Amino acid sequence: MAKITFDGVEVEVPDGTTILNAARQIGGSIVPPAMCYYTPLKGSGGKCRACLVRVAAGSAKDPRPMPKLVASCVTPVQDGMVVENTTSEQVLNVRKGIVEMLLINHPLDCPVCDQAGECDLQNFAFEHGVSTTRYQEERRTFEKIDIGPLIQLHMTRCILCYRCVYTANQITDNRVHGVLGRGDAAEIGTYIENIIDNDFSGNVIDVCPVGALTDKTFRFKQRVWFTKPVNAHRDCPKCSGNVVLWYKGKEVLRTTARKDQYGEVKEWICNECRFEKKETSDWTIEGPAHIDRSSVISANHYELPVLNQSVIADLPESTQRDLEKNPPLKLGS
Amino acid sequence: MGRKLLTEHINVEGINTFEVYRKHGGYRSVEKALKTMTPDEVVEEVKKSGLRGRGGAGFPTGMKWSFLAKPEGVPRYLVCNADESEPGTFKDRQLMSKLPHLLIEGMITSSYALGANTSYIYIRGELLYVLRILEKAIAEAYAAGFLGKNILGSGYDLDLHVHPGGGAYICGEETALLESLEGKRGNPRNKPPFPAVQGLYARPTVVNNVESIAAVPVIVNEGGDEYAKLGVGRSTGTKLISACGHLNKPGIYEIELGLPVEEFIYSDEYCGGIWKGRELKAVVAGGSSVPILPKELILKTAAGENRLMTYESLSDGGFVTGTMLGSGGFIAMDETTCIVRNTWNFSRFYHHESCGQCSPCREGTGWMEKVLHRLEHGHGHMEDIDLLVSVAKQIEGNTICPLGEAAAWPVAAAVRHFRHEFEWHVTHAKEAAQPGAVYRANAVLV
């Protein structure tokens, strides 16, 4: 066991736990954001740099601070480690920089993007970003690609987190897509236009933190915050059959895997459950799925659910005036 | 001229063949090490020599070797990093093509010291002709009994392989190199774990530069203490410097560390001064990724002392007034060089070579390149100069591997020391956008 101090809170975790997972045991607003790390996927993490934290003391044995910020999702804890996240000005500044970097080539087409409302990048930018950009150059764009009849790849939105690559590696027996090219020309692709034909391929949609991989059976049907999530299950010969159905009225618009509070899939589901079973009669309904109060899905309308006090000053004046009139649900720190 | 340890016989006819190399004292270190020394004694000699990694970071080689984890029953590997692709650095290429047996000798002795029974030379893909030379030399070494089973009857086995990369700069980063060697995409790994614990095929691995390994035979032959007598302070021995740019005699020089920079540039023994009788303007002392320094600061430190070719002297003053010895890619620029254009050129390289794995480097290198392109072509604004510094700062230290820093440092340093040129590119946009336009000190800033 190793005892670490994270943002002033002490926590004891088994050896080999990453700093991020130790912070998740504490929970709350001090948990660093993670855009590429995904607990169920071995080897993921370290790429987006959103979770960088400052290690003020390396361990009890060697209490020197680490020279650089470290990616909390891949750095294991050491006994006596002291980590600063929200308490470090440097970390917050760097995180602002990371948002900026992730957004410079992102199309910011949230108004027409199916992921809006449950998008990791949107949440991350909302909490840590600024409302203006210093980037004047042309953004990189790609053609939309249909990878099979059920999934669409819109590479322009991709932040190259590699989650879908790891998913295909680890839960299917044959990966046909991967990262091609290098630098900001890198893209997810199948090289020669290929379809991803696998019973579990739909899971890449769930792991995608942005709207780069979308469910073609749900595209443009409805904004997610107008749909109601309901837990349901069925006897499925391929997967666990535990899913969330997203209803609009009596209609099941989409089916996804169940996710935990950090947006990570609990159990992978098969394509049959995801794309084909869209009748209530196919399922045994368990009840409404829990949605975090801070989520726009819970707010059910597109309002500021949690507002980071520190970003208010960066907002346009008109928005600030609106905020004074209609205060948000709660103010984050 | 100072003593030459590595390149003494480089111009001997046929030195690339086993016989001639052997006649000139080649493979003595293998005999000495395998017959009279234990592996730990070899490591000890290298530690005593004070040899520092010649690939750029300057980390003490002996210390790196002693970090190698040695669990029972698990193979260990030595990998030679011959993926030399830093702009301005071309020492390893020459060393390998002229003296392939020196590298092989170093590999055998070093592998013995580390207890590796399989070793690899990972060579840059573009250097295919060098690969052929090395393969031929390795075949000769196998035939002579210096490689293979039971080398020289000592019971020590070693297989040596040469593996060409695809020519990506990023594969010169040690963990990306290992990924590439394993047959994967050359993406750097997250550290920890470090290669000394989990390297090639998740086994303990040491990755060393060609020049570092080539220095091992000399150290074993003459003893670490003898080697440490050369050089100054913690910068011991000799270093290959590949000098290029506006010099009268560009080329590869083996210098004893501690040589004054001024002597290196102006003495006829070395570079012979700046070509066409022009003035020196700036120097990039250790390959394109180290900070550029203007003439005043490269010849003398901020404290007014003579700048020496050592790890310490070149980095005197930190990055405010200093730079790094790096990999020894010495690029001299005369007064007709446009620093903005040069910085843009470097930046273009890093943009092209970023692997795209982590966001600050993937997006930031491209951003800097585009802003510099705009400045150079007369479409820049004053804010762009501070923007460059800010973007460089956002990349630096926040990436998985040092490529981010390599991209950020030259830009930050160019703005730090030549801000007036960037400003001139904004105020005299039309003039600056002309081909060959260069800011002159006597030009009046509006």
Digit-coded pLDDT (tens) for B367-381:
999 999 999 999 999
In this complex, do B359 and A68 lie within 8 Å of one another by their Cβ atoms?
no
Residue A43 C-alpha, separation from nearest chain B C-alpha, in angstroms: 10
Distance CA B446, CA A130 (A): 34
B269 class by beta-carbon count within 10 Å (0-12 exposed, 13-18 middle, 19+ buried) = middle
Q: A175 touching B, CB under 8 A?
A: no
Q: A81 touching B, CB under 8 A?
A: no
DSSP one-letter string for B261-309: HHHHHH-TTTT-SBGGG--EEEEE-SSTTSPEEEHHHHHB-TTSPBPBS
State residue A330's pLDDT score.
54
Distance CA B420, CA A5 (A): 47
Asked if residue B125 lies in contact with residue B167, where contact means CB atoms within 8 angstroms, the answer is yes
In this complex, do A46 and B190 lie within 8 Å of one another by their Cβ atoms?
yes
Asked if residue B364 lies in contact with residue B373, where contact means CB atoms within 8 angstroms, the answer is no
C-alpha to C-alpha distances, A283 to A30, A202, A278, B293, nearest whole angstrom: 38, 19, 9, 70
Q: What pTM did the predictor assign?
A: 0.91
State residue B442's pLDDT score.
55
Residue of A nearest to B189 (CA): A46
Nearest to B284 by CA among B242, B252, B336: B242
Find chain A residues with C-beta within 8 A of B397's C-beta.
Answer: 68-69
C-alpha to C-alpha distances, B75 to B142, B159, B394, nearest whole angstrom: 21, 13, 40
In this complex, do B190 and A186 lie within 8 Å of one another by their Cβ atoms?
no
Residue of A nearest to B398 (CA): A69
* Cβ within 8 Å of A, B 117-146: none
Structure tokens at B78: 């030595």
Beta-bridge partner residues of B119: B78, B160
Question: Which parts of B303-358 are beta strand (E)?
Answer: 329-334
Distance CA A102, CA A300 (A): 27
C-alpha to C-alpha distances, B398 to A45, B329, B409, nearest whole angstrom: 14, 25, 13
Q: What is the DSSP letter of A75?
A: P
Find chain B residues with C-beta within 8 A of A105's C-beta.
Answer: 363, 366
Distance CA A305, CA A318 (A): 18
Q: A100 touching B, CB under 8 A?
A: yes
In this complex, do B397 and A69 lie within 8 Å of one another by their Cβ atoms?
yes
Distance CA B414, CA B319 (A): 11
Residue A275 C-alpha, separation from nearest chain B C-alpha, in angstroms: 31
State residue A167's pLDDT score.
95
Asked if residue B27 lies in contact with residue B101, where contact means CB atoms within 8 angstroms, the answer is yes
In this complex, do A47 and B357 lie within 8 Å of one another by their Cβ atoms?
yes
**What is the average pLDDT value for chain B, to the nearest integer?**
94
**pLDDT tens, position by position, for chain B (446 residues)?**
578 999 999 999 999 999 999 999 999 999 999 999 999 999 999 999 999 999 988 999 999 999 999 999 999 999 999 999 999 999 999 999 999 999 999 999 999 999 999 999 999 999 999 999 999 999 999 999 999 999 999 999 999 999 999 989 999 999 999 999 999 999 999 988 999 999 999 999 999 999 999 999 999 999 999 999 999 999 999 999 999 999 999 999 999 999 999 999 999 999 999 999 999 999 999 999 999 999 999 999 999 999 999 999 999 989 999 999 999 999 999 999 999 999 999 999 999 999 999 999 999 999 999 999 999 999 999 999 999 999 999 999 999 999 999 999 999 999 999 999 999 999 999 988 888 888 876 554 43
C-alpha to C-alpha distances, B123 to A224, B79, B147, B164, nearest whole angstrom: 52, 10, 19, 5
In this complex, do A76 and B192 lie within 8 Å of one another by their Cβ atoms?
yes
What sign does the dihedral B124-B130-B132-B137 (CA atoms) show?
A: negative
Nearest to B323 by CA among B300, B293, B343: B293
H or E segment and range at residue A288 = strand A284-288
Cβ-count burial B108-141 (b if 16+ within 10 Å, e if not): bbbbbbbbbbbbbbbbbbbbeebbebbeebbebb
Residue B39 C-alpha, separation from nearest chain A C-alpha, in angstroms: 30
Residue A278 C-alpha, separation from nearest chain B C-alpha, in angstroms: 37
3-state secondary structure of B219: helix
Longest dimension (CA), chain A: 61
Question: Interface pTM (ipTM) of the complex?
Answer: 0.89
CA A2 to chain CA centroid, nearest Å: 28
Positions of chain A with pLDDT lower than 70, given as ranges: 293-294, 299-308, 326-333
C-alpha to C-alpha distances, B181 to B161, B172, B188, nearest whole angstrom: 11, 11, 12
State residue B271's pLDDT score.
96
Find chain A residues with C-beta within 8 A of B359's C-beta.
Answer: 47-50, 98, 101-102, 159-160
Asked if residue B141 lies in contact with residue B18, where contact means CB atoms within 8 angstroms, the answer is yes
